Amino acid sequence: MNTKLKVSEISKIYPGCIANDKVSLEFGSGKIYALLGENGAGKSTLVKILSGVVKPDEGEVFLNDERIKLNSPLDAKKNNIGMVFQHFNLFETLSVFENLSIDSDIKDEDLRVLVNDILKKYNFKIDLDIPVLNLSAGQKQKVEIIRCLIRNPKVLIMDEPTSVLTEQETDDLFISLKQFSKDGILIIYITHKLKEVLLLCDEVAVMRKGKVVSVSNTIDEKIESLANKMVGENLNTIKKKINHFKNSEEILKISNLNFKSDDPYETNLNNLNLSLKKGECLGIAGISGNGQNELFQILSGEIITEGTSIMFRNKEIGKLNPRERREYLMAFSPEDRISQAAVPELKIYENVALNNFKSSNFFEKGLVNEKKIKEHSKKILSNFSVNTDNVELKSQFLSGGNLQKLIIGRELITSPELLVCFNPTWGLDVGAINYIHETLIQINEQGKSSILISTDNDELLKLSDRICVIYKGKLSKIMNADTVTAEKLGILMGGGSID
């Protein structure tokens, strides 16, 4: 059985961003294809188009030279395109078999025979009659795969399948995938992990900013060459900022930070060490989901880890909550500006009151000092050029850029010694991005420090004095920004090692 899948001139435009720009690719059975790219490169959109979740604005999909219409996930199933998503779609309290029979038209007795055949053939060891919640992440993924295999797929798409797996489970998965490929199933493997591409795949298509930038055989590629293609080679031209505080005192020191989460979708952090000097910006690069979220929350005090030492200005703050850390002049700008850093249903001045500490006098003797909060809010709106002077406006009516300015303004107007920000410019327009960048450079020039956790390499190279990369919950060596190239970052972000 030979399968040929071809996408031709696929385009998908979202407001403010071109997710897929005339993407054309060809795949044939017998090979495993990698689709490689950073966050936002357009891989997910392309995959969603192939699985019928998203309709393209332009372009066509051909299966065995026949044009197919993919208007819904049902159409994809009918055309024998199977998809295993990164997040599982299983009913936790139902048994494995019940989960499989839910979306199958086969009679239960026949289905059981079929599933047992699949289990035997691929040497999967799963008890069909226990509830899914008792399975490990790797086993749950196998259930998802079996669900696809029941339908005799011609094409199997795996979306970042190893992000929740252990090393051993990853090895098992690769063995299975190679077996499927031998059995004639065309496999498209979405990832940003360079090692996996080299280990598993035969061909690799690299996407960047919605476009396919290269298609090649993996034997011709190395980690370095793929990294370059993934992040782009034009980044070296960006002018780096000058560090005025090279030999200043140390302001923050974290030693041997470990964090283990009960949630399989969270990342564990292993033995993190970092230090930060006065007036310095430390950039933390990485592809999202490698532990940035957890690291931010540990820095902000939303997660308190037992026995972790965080020294800030010679005080131990590891046990303090975010409000208490603010008293020590730390400030935080989380990634989720819409529903975490601010509450959309609250008015601007109420959102300003979220960053409250003793000297702000927003709440005197437990009572709300509305006048004080409003005055303070007006000052933020004008100092940080937020495009309104109405403090009674609900923050849901602010544009992303104005909301981010409000949040950064709220955090900075108290002159903190350290600002921790996480993807401060995602989804903003160029004007707002520049404003935020200038502000961040400015605070360093005033001798204040910052930690910038970002998935945007341009931003990191532009703003950081020192950079490190977080990969699977581990920090790379911290490097001086002037020795860092886009290539090095790319290798580290994809799990490779340098020197």
Partner 1 sequence: MEVQLIKIEKRNDVSRSIYFLTPVLAIFLTLFGGGIIFYILGFNPIEALKFFFITPISDLYGLSELLVKATPLCLIAIGLSFCFKSNNWNIGAEGQLIFGGIVGGGVALLFYNHDGFYVLPIIILSGAIGGMLFAMIPAILKTYFNTNEILVSLMLVYVAKLLLDYLVVGPWSNPEGFNFPETRQFSESARMPILFGGLRIHAGIFITLITVFLSWLILYKTYLGFQIKVSGLSLKTAKYAGYKGKTMIIIVFMISGACAGLAGVGEITGPIGQLHRNISPDYGFTAIIVAFLGRLNPVGIIFASLIVALTYLGAETAQIFLQVPKYTGQVFQGMILFFLLGSDYLLFFKIKFLGLKKNEL
Taking the complex as a whole, the smallest distance from the CB of residue 323 to partner 1 amounts, in Å, to: 3
User: How far, in Å, CA of 147 to CA of 149, rounded?
Assistant: 6
Taking the complex as a whole, the smallest distance from the CB of residue 366 to partner 1 amounts, in Å, to: 5
Taking the complex as a whole, the smallest distance from the CB of residue 239 to partner 1 amounts, in Å, to: 34
Stretches 6-14, 109-117, 361-369, 448-456: which one binds partner 1 (CB under 8 A)? 361-369
Q: Which of residues 135, 148, 194, 353 is near partner 1 by CB under 8 A?
A: 353
User: How far, in Å, CA of 389 to CA of 349, rounded?
Assistant: 11
User: How far, in Å, CA of 69 to CA of 75, rounded?
Assistant: 7
Taking the complex as a whole, the smallest distance from the CB of residue 321 to partner 1 amounts, in Å, to: 4
Q: Which of residues 323, 358, 379, 477 is near partner 1 by CB under 8 A?
A: 323
By the rule CB under 8 A, 368 interacts with partner 1:
yes
Taking the complex as a whole, the smallest distance from the CB of residue 334 to partner 1 amounts, in Å, to: 6
Q: Smallest Cα–Cα separation from 276: which of 138, 129, 128, 475?
A: 475
For residue 177, give the 3-state DSSP assignment.
helix
CA distances from 65 to 4, 93, 355, 450 (A): 7, 42, 60, 55
Q: Which of residues 183, 345, 429, 482 is near partner 1 by CB under 8 A?
A: 345
Taking the complex as a whole, the smallest distance from the CB of residue 476 to partner 1 amounts, in Å, to: 28
Under rule CB under 8 A, which residues in 369-408 are in contact with partner 1?
396
Return the axis-axis angle of helices 370-383 and 400-412, rounded to nearest 10°: 110
Taking the complex as a whole, the smallest distance from the CB of residue 297 to partner 1 amounts, in Å, to: 9
Q: Which of residues 27, 97, 332, 349 is near partner 1 by CB under 8 A?
A: 332
Helix ranges (DSSP H) in 183-217 = 194-200
By the rule CB under 8 A, 321 interacts with partner 1:
yes
Name every residue whose Cβ is closer than 8 Å to that of residue 135 and which is 6 or more positions away in sequence.
96, 126, 143
Taking the complex as a whole, the smallest distance from the CB of residue 153 to partner 1 amounts, in Å, to: 19
Stretches 6-14, 123-131, 280-288, 334-342: which one binds partner 1 (CB under 8 A)? 334-342
Structure tokens at 408: 């950064």
By the rule CB under 8 A, 350 interacts with partner 1:
yes
Pairing mode, if any, of strands 418-422 and 449-453?
Answer: parallel
Q: What is the x/- site pattern for partner 1, positions 28-67, by CB under 8 A?
A: ----------------------------------------
Taking the complex as a whole, the smallest distance from the CB of residue 352 to partner 1 amounts, in Å, to: 11
Q: Which of residues 147, 241, 325, 488 is near partner 1 by CB under 8 A?
A: 325
Under rule CB under 8 A, which residues in 261-280 are in contact with partner 1?
none
CA distances from 331 to 273, 361, 411, 412 (A): 20, 17, 5, 7
By the rule CB under 8 A, 343 interacts with partner 1:
yes
Structure tokens at 125: 């060891």
By the rule CB under 8 A, 464 interacts with partner 1:
no
DSSP state of 288: T
For the chain, what percentages of helix, strand and coil (3-state, to nearest 5) are there?
A: 35, 25, 40
By the rule CB under 8 A, 322 interacts with partner 1:
yes
Q: Smallest Cα–Cα separation from 291: which of 432, 471, 429?
A: 471
Under rule CB under 8 A, which residues in 151-180 are in contact with partner 1?
none
Identity of the residue, 182 or 365, whose beta carbon is nearer to partner 1 in the bound complex = 365
Q: Which of residues 92, 108, 171, 336 is near partner 1 by CB under 8 A?
A: 336
Identity of the residue, 14 or 255, whose beta carbon is nearer to partner 1 in the bound complex = 14
Count, residues near partner 1 per rule CB under 8 A: 30
Please name the helix (run of DSSP H) or strand (run of DSSP E) that holds residue 157, with its range, or none: strand 155-159
- For 237, phi then psi, to 5°, come to -80, -15
Structure tokens at 422: 């996480």
Identity of the residue, 202 or 302, whose beta carbon is nearer to partner 1 in the bound complex = 302
Q: Which residue carries 């139902």 as its tokens?
A: 94
Stretches 59-67, 227-235, 351-359, 416-424: which one binds partner 1 (CB under 8 A)? 351-359
Taking the complex as a whole, the smallest distance from the CB of residue 368 to partner 1 amounts, in Å, to: 5
Under rule CB under 8 A, which residues in 285-304 are in contact with partner 1?
300-302
User: How far, in Å, CA of 149 to CA of 180, rounded?
Assistant: 9
Identity of the residue, 350 or 459, whose beta carbon is nearer to partner 1 in the bound complex = 350
Q: Which of residues 37, 52, 283, 334 is near partner 1 by CB under 8 A?
A: 334
Cα atoms in the Cβ-side hemisphere of radius 13 Å centred on 29: 19
Taking the complex as a whole, the smallest distance from the CB of residue 356 to partner 1 amounts, in Å, to: 7
Is-contact 180 156, C-beta < 8 A? yes
Tallying the residues shown for the chain, one arrives at: 499
Identity of the residue, 354 or 441, whose beta carbon is nearer to partner 1 in the bound complex = 354
CA distances from 242 to 219, 367, 403 (A): 41, 46, 29
Identity of the residue, 350 or 465, whose beta carbon is nearer to partner 1 in the bound complex = 350
User: How far, in Å, CA of 180 to CA of 153, rounded?
Assistant: 10
Please name the helix (run of DSSP H) or strand (run of DSSP E) that holds residue 109, with its range, or none: helix 108-121
Binding-site ranges for partner 1 (CB under 8 A): 74, 300-302, 321-326, 332, 334, 336, 339-343, 345-346, 350, 353-356, 363, 366-368, 396
